[in-house]
Amino acid sequence: MTLHRHRFKQNQSLEERLAAEAKQLREQAALLPPGALREEVLRKARQAETGSRMSEWWRSPDVRAPK
């Protein structure tokens, strides 16, 4: 028996999904008391924002154009 991958089309771009995740994580962190858990959630939010910016940067035509 062969395994089949379940494929689906994303409705939002990667940048939009990462930005939404970062926003949700920041809202979640605002509800947490200061401490290690809050810092971890904020770190994940920063990673999502950085990933969004890197993906945006990578898609720009200036990056792919030969010099």
Does some domain include residue 2? Answer: no
Does some domain include residue 21? Answer: yes
Give the pLDDT confidence of 19-30 residue by residue, as tens digits. 999 999 999 999
Listing DSSP states for the chain in one string gives ----------SS-HHHHHHHHHHHHHHHHHHSPSSHHHHHHHHHHHHHHHHHHHHHHHHSHHHHS--
Does some domain include residue 1? Answer: no
Between 63 and 18, residue with greater pLDDT: 18
Does some domain include residue 9? Answer: no
Does some domain include residue 48? Answer: yes
Query: How many independent structural domains does the chain possess?
Result: 1
Range of the domain at 42: 14-64
Is the pTM value of this prediction over 0.85? no
